[in-house]
Amino acid sequence: MEPDVLPNDSAAERDGFPNESARGSDAAADAAVVAVLDARPEISGETDSRVAMTLAALTLLRRLIPIHGPLMFHQSGGCCDGSSPMCYPAGDFKTGGSDVLLGTFDLSAAADADAPADGTDPVPADAAEIAFWMSAAQFEYWKHTHLTLDAVAGRGSGFSVEAPEGKRFLIRSRLLAQDAA
């Protein structure tokens, strides 16, 4: 399934977050995305990261963790929220045999240049690791795809913790290198 991007206001950027104005994946925008943090691979035998995040996603997570504590992501296979990445307090979404742990972000590994301007990092050590899960059915469909977690201005899902912030997480994708897939 193609990641879902909802239209919102026409400003190009709001509060430092790019604004999505089209529905669906934009190949030019996806190609221009710069990842600042790769997730640690969690699939047995894999050494290349399948998931990364942008500075916008990292910045939003640094805002959310002091409010919600440790977090996790789950990328569903569709239905009510399309295939948007959902961010929950760690443990609130129960994962099981029908889910695949793609990777774990370690926010403490983010470059110092990405830290808040005041020099403090609001992420306590016990909340620095963020697991990124995907339904096994969705993984079967996207197994040859690298995912980049991004954040943009717009309406998020009512169930994802960023919704009240006027921001939403979304996935930008590209094919994995042949030897990594």
pLDDT at position 134 is 96
Name the pairing type of β-strands 71-75 and 85-89.
antiparallel
Class of residue 132 by CB neighbours under 10 A (exposed 0-12, middle 13-18, buried 19+): buried
**What span, in angstroms and rounded, lies between the C-alpha atoms of 40 and 99?**
17
Main-chain dihedrals φ then ψ at residue 150, nearest 5 degrees: -125, 170
Q: Where are the domains of the chain?
A: 13-112+123-175
pLDDT at position 173 is 93
Per-residue pLDDT of the chain in tens (181 residues, 90 and over written 9): 444 333 333 334 444 444 443 334 556 666 678 999 999 999 999 999 999 999 999 999 999 999 999 999 999 776 554 578 999 999 999 999 999 999 999 998 886 656 666 666 668 889 999 999 999 999 999 999 999 999 999 987 778 999 999 999 999 999 997 655 5
Are 73 and 131 within 8 A, CB to CB?
yes
Tokens (6 digits) for 54: 């942008």
- Give the pTM: 0.79
pLDDT at position 16 is 47
